[in-house]
């Protein structure tokens, strides 16, 4: 009888651990991951919108290709943590190439 009781006790313990891990995943980890994905998706959309506005400003004005490339390089050098600030800065005046250039150079430091 001892062996059967020990076996059942072991199986119950394993099931309790698995149920606890599953509950922790569904109630703690999964909501955090979903929230993080939503936030990062929103930031990426805003950044893409800003870059689209900057590209539109390039197309509307007669900016030399070298200037476009230097501004694009400067924007790529902006640290990730400053990208929301870059987006906000560009969105204040998206049609001005000089404004976009100032925003990118200021935040790429």
Q: How would you write 40-81 as a 3-class SS string?
A: HHHHHHHHHHHHHHHHHHHHHCCCCHHHHHHHHHHHHCCCHH
**The predicted structure's pLDDT at residue 46:** 74
Task: Report d(CA 14, CA 11) in Å as an integer.
Answer: 5
| Domain locations in the chain as residue ranges | 2-107
- pTM of the predicted model as reported, rounded to 2 decimal places: 0.50
Residue scoring higher pLDDT (61 or 78): 78
Residue scoring higher pLDDT (56 or 105): 105
The pLDDT tens digits for 39-48 are: 777 777 777 7
Residue scoring higher pLDDT (82 or 56): 82
The answer, yes or no, to whether residue 89 has pLDDT greater than 70, is: yes
**The predicted structure's pLDDT at residue 22:** 93
């Amino acid at each position: 009888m001892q062996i059967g009781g020990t076996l059942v006790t072991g199986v119950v313990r394993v099931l309790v651990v698995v149920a606890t891990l599953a509950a922790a995943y569904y109630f703690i980890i999964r909501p955090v991951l979903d929230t993080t994905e939503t936030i990062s998706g929103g930031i990426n959309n805003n950044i893409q919108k800003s870059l689209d506005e900057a590209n539109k400003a390039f197309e509307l004005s007669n900016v030399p290709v070298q200037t476009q490339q230097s501004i694009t390089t400067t924007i790529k050098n902006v640290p990730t943590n400053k990208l929301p600030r870059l987006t906000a800065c560009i969105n204040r005046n998206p049609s001005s190439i000089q404004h976009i250039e100032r925003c990118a150079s200021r935040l790429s430091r």
